[in-house]
């Protein structure tokens, strides 16, 4: 039996014993009401991924941004003026068409049964698997929210946040420091724009014109070439240099080597508390090791149960972009 299969089986067992109780979600929620629900979502994500692999980090990030605002209720998907998707932190989110496509297929198969919130949670997991990450069982049974306000996004984690601020924002949802480091590790796939980190390369402090000292000096010149001071701020750069399309632990190696792209990411290494978890993912001698793929699944289950609406709360949207 391969190591990957063993880890997957262990993860299934761990999730089964650590799943948040009383949330109303459970693995296999649609087993009798829409038997093919998960396979339809998986096939839809696979189809889009085949055409454009960058959809994987897009869907993962969208799920994260949804859960951190009013819970995991698909409020990020609602169209309209002043909805969440119009807020500055969400303007570059992508993957809406994947969720809409999956919803159309599910409505044809099981009308009014599968929520958009569950589609998004499943699609995030399937995206990780397609990027060569481990799978995990996704508890389902969420219902969709009816409220989506841009003003509610003000507390989303930001790329300049200190580790203390990041920990506070995660702790507000029952996520600890290990969950923080693990979930930020999702940056092992995907890109960011020069405009979100270029300030680290030029005139970083008011006392000089140098780069952020936490960046490896040899890496600074590489980034300056990719992101000139007066160049195109929308140019996309890999968050995990050398491995942007593969879900693995190399993101943490880059942090250790001073090659974190976002300031908030690199701070996970410069802060003693979070650095310990980075080191554990890297298998540093003398520390109890952690397997990134397995821990990511566990933390994703915790995150996906934030503020879920179940039972008679919320609704099952017919179209994910509009309240019924």
Q: Are 249 and 281 in contact (CB under 8 A)?
A: yes
pLDDT at 205: 74
Q: Does domain 20-157 have CATH number 1.10.645.10?
A: no
**Catalytic: 65?**
yes
Class of residue 229 by CB neighbours under 10 A (exposed 0-12, middle 13-18, buried 19+): exposed
Query: Which top CATH class is 163-299?
Result: mainly alpha
What is the predicted pLDDT for the residue at 208?
A: 60
**Cβ atoms of 117 and 30 closer than 8 Å:** no
How far is Cα 63 from Cα 59, in angstroms, rounded to an integer? 6
Q: Do residues 319 and 103 lie in contact, with contact meaning Cβ atoms separated by under 8 Å?
A: yes
Distance of alpha carbon 308 from alpha carbon 120, whole angstroms: 13
What pLDDT was estimated at residue 19? 40
- In the numeric block, which tokens belong to residue 263? 């300031």
Question: 89: which DSSP letter?
Answer: G
What does the pLDDT read at residue 32? 97
Residues 6+ apart with CB under 8 A from 207: none
Where do the domains of the chain lie? 20-157, 163-299
Q: Is 115 helix (H, G, I), strand (E, B) or coil?
A: coil
pLDDT along the chain (324 residues), means of 10: 47 43 80 98 98 96 97 98 96 97 98 98 98 97 97 94 97 97 98 96 75 94 95 96 94 97 97 96 89 97 96 96 97
In terms of Cα–Cα distance, which of 185, 222, 192 is closest to 64? 185
114 exposure class (CB count in 10 Å sphere: 0-12, 13-18, 19+): buried
Distances (CA, A) of 298 to 41, 180, 251, 305, 314: 21, 12, 18, 11, 26
Q: What does residue 322 show for φ and ψ, rounded to 5 degrees?
A: -145, 140
CA 230: distance to chain centroid?
A: 30
């Amino acid at each position: 039996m391969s190591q990957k299969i063993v880890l997957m089986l262990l993860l299934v067992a761990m999730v089964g014993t650590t799943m948040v109780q009383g949330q109303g979600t459970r693995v296999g929620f649609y087993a009798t009401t829409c038997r093919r629900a998960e396979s339809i979502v998986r096939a839809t994500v696979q189809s889009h991924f085949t055409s454009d692999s960058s959809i994987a980090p897009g869907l993962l990030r969208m799920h994260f941004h949804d859960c951190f605002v009013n819970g995991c209720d698909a409020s990020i998907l609602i169209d309209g003026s002043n909805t969440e998707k119009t807020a500055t932190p969400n303007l570059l989110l992508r993957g809406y068409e994947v969720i809409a496509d999956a919803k159309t297929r599910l409505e044809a198969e099981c009308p009014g049964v599968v929520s958009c919130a569950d589609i998004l949670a499943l699609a995030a997991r399937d995206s990780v698997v397609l990027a060569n990450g481990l799978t995990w069982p996704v508890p389902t049974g969420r219902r969709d929210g009816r409220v989506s306000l841009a003003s509610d996004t003000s507390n989303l984690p930001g790329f300049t946040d200190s580790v203390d601020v990041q920990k506070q924002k995660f702790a507000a949802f029952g996520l600890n420091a290990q969950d923080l480091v693990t979930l930020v590790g999702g940056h092992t796939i995907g890109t960011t724009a020069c405009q979100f980190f270029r300030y680290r390369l030029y005139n970083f402090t008011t006392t000089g014109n140098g780069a952020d000292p936490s960046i490896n000096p040899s890496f600074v010149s590489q980034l300056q070439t990719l992101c000139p001071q007066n160049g195109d701020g929308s140019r996309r750069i890999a968050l995990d240099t050398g491995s942007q399309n593969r879900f693995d632990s190399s993101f943490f190696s880059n942090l250790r080597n001073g090659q974190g792209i976002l300031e908030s990411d690199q701070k996970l290494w410069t802060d003693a508390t979070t650095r310990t978890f980075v080191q554990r993912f890297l298998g540093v001698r003398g520390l109890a090791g952690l397997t990134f793929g397995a821990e990511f699944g566990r933390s994703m289950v915790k995150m996906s149960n934030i503020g879920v609406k179940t039972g008679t709360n919320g609704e099952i949207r017919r179209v994910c972009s509009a309240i019924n």
